A = this chain, B = another copy of it.
Amino acid sequence: MSLNTFGHLFRVTTWGESHGPALGCTVDGCPPGVRLSEADIQPWLDKRKPGTSKFTTQRKEPDEVKILSGVFEGVTTGTSIQLMIENTDQRSKDYGQIAQQFRPGHADVTYHLKYGVRDHRGGGRSSARETAARVAAGGVARAVLAALVPDLKINGYMVQMGVKPIDRARFEASAIAENPFWCPDPVMAEEWAEYLDALRMDHNSVGAVIEVEATGVPAGLGAPLYGKLDADLAAAMMSINAVKGVEIGAGMAAAALTGVENADEMSLGPNGLEFGSNHAGGILGGISSGQPVVCRFAVKPTSSILTPRASVNTAGEAVEVVTKGRHDPCVGIRAVPVGEAMMACVLLDHLLLDRAQTGGMRGQIGSAR
């Protein structure tokens, strides 16, 4: 089974290990005739790039993407697009010990149990470096969405670091890009800086919650059942390294609501259907309603830490694991552009699916359409 592929019609197959010569992805099913060059993709990779602040890994990677196929004279041709990012800073010697030991909370042990062999260098295939390929694919998806649905916008930001959630009353969209945490609450951003610094000094790490919102999503994307828009978003976000929970709209908190509270009341306004609230996160019955699509996911703390943890080695002996190397104290920070990329890919995928099945025709409400 193509377990390194995601998407139904806009299909992305990623490949590559942390310390191999390169990594990348094949993007298949891209519509033809869309303007695309490396310059459309690189900014998203730069956003994710390590080594930009003391809060992310000090590994230096230019993460320069090359388009090897599928684009001719600056335009997509409809054939498969190969995106490649060469690995340049492969300080493999940092990782010698990992070859024999299993880091608690890390994929080391399950790879070993499943495959009997693994590329241990920097986590190999399980490294967060793989997400660079996703961000590159997301760059292609964004370019296509910009051509097909110009009003659609995707924004990701961090809403909680460790025990410190943002204050929604202080939400400023303009603040997001102005701190190293993609934090929309400028007060909390400063608090997080101190909090994370202390954790880092203490040889510890911490989790986070990321929210990704898409506005301008046309109504009608998705399907009632197993190809639900929300089911595909859940799979997409849960497939990101270290994610342990995914929520749509009210999310887990929906359990505490009554039906009266949860009902997003509707009316017909001058611009069409309007909603009094958005507990649904823009998705009803697996299909987009036209409201903003809101998805959140929790990223667990980095499992590679300098504090010793009890474990075993391949020989079955008890060991104390201390992970050197260059690791993010809060891997959630760099998950923000990854979540955005997954949102872009899923929305484009469903846009294409919808074109296929309905031809983009829509049921009317009133005369406003």
Contact = CB atoms under 8 A, between A and B. Distances in A.
A238 B228 contact: yes
Given A9-B353, A78-B358, A208-B255, 7 more contacts: A21-B68, A225-B239, A238-B248, A244-B254, A244-B280, A263-B303, A263-B305
A174 interface: no
Given A355-B356, A362-B116, A224 B254 contact: no
A249 B217 CA distance: 32
Interface residues of A, number: 168
B207 A255 contact: yes
What is the copy number of this chain in the assembly? 4
Contacts of A23: 68-69
8 contacts: A107-B285, A114-B354, A114-B363, A234-B235, A262-B300, A266-B310, A266-B311, A273-B312
A196 B76 CA distance: 39
Interface string A14-29: 1111001111101011
A245 B244 contact: no
A84 to B, nearest CB: 8
Q: Which of A199, A241, A260, A315 has the most CB atoms of chain B within a 10 A radius of its CB?
A: A260
Contacts of A236: 231
Interface stretch (A38-46, A56-64, A123-131, A180-188): A123-131
A213 to B, nearest CB: 16
A317 B365 CA distance: 9
Interface stretch (A47-55, A149-157, A287-295): A287-295
A301 B263 CA distance: 9
Contacts of A125: 69, 77, 79, 224-225
Interface string A255-289: 11111111111111000010010011101111111
Nearest to A163: B256
Contacts of A9: 1, 9, 353, 356-357
A17 B67 CA distance: 12
Contact of A287 (B107, B234, B304): B107
Nearest to A162: B256
Contact of A252 (B105, B262, B298, B310): B298
B255 A162 contact: yes
A113 B220 contact: yes
Contact of A205 (B238, B259, B315, B317): B259
Nearest to A309: B263
Most buried by B among A80, A238, A244, A246: A244
Contact of A82 (B15, B301, B352): B15
Contacts of A340: none
Contacts of A80: 4, 13-16
A208 to B, nearest CB: 5
A138 interface: no
Contacts of A358: 31-32, 78, 114-116
A91 to B, nearest CB: 17
A224 B160 CA distance: 26
A313 B114 CA distance: 41
A39 to B, nearest CB: 17
